[in-house]
Amino acid sequence: MIISKLLVLSSPCILFQVAERALFLWNNDQIVNLIAHNRPVILPIIFPALEKNAHDHWNQGVLNLTLNIRKMFSEMDDALYLACLDQFREDEERQSVLAEQRKEAWQRLEYAASLKPITGNTAVLVTPLATSIAC
């Protein structure tokens, strides 16, 4: 379980050397066999990191290693892989909805704050354009 946590923490790392080293562990047959036997537990844990790497990582080496690992899991247990993919998509959609709700809540707060007069020691929201000082 420690290995899978390491992979989750380091494979989406923007420092490609860290991500690459973590993904190189998959070249070890003993680790692959251990993970294959425990894939129902491990794949749901590491799947989000693999998907994010596959879509967002800038380094081609890390991207290729990630795609190979995804393919390996798909070939090992396609049903589990597809279940994890569905769960990942649901989670991403849920996060997108929550982000939109947060954005709308902040817009309502900013609008409500803009309607109140500024008096005394009232905190004021300052936009970046309002803070630029021309000399």
Q: What is the dihedral of CA 115, 117, 120, 122, to 10 degrees?
A: 10
Q: Which helix (H) or strand (E) holds 92?
A: helix 78-115
CA gyration radius for the chain? 22
pLDDT of residue 33: 92
Instruction: Give me the tens of pLDDT residue by residue for the chain, a chain 135 residues long.
Output: 555 555 554 455 667 777 777 787 888 899 889 889 999 998 998 899 899 888 988 888 888 888 999 999 999 999 999 999 999 999 999 999 999 999 999 999 888 878 877 777 766 666 665 555 554
Which amino acid appears at position 107 of this protein? Answer: Q
3-state class percentages of the chain: helix first, strand second, coil last, to nearest 5 = 80, 0, 20
- Give the residue carrying structure tokens 């354009």: 129
Q: What are phi and psi of 14, to 5 degrees?
A: -70, -25
Q: What is the pLDDT of residue 19?
A: 77
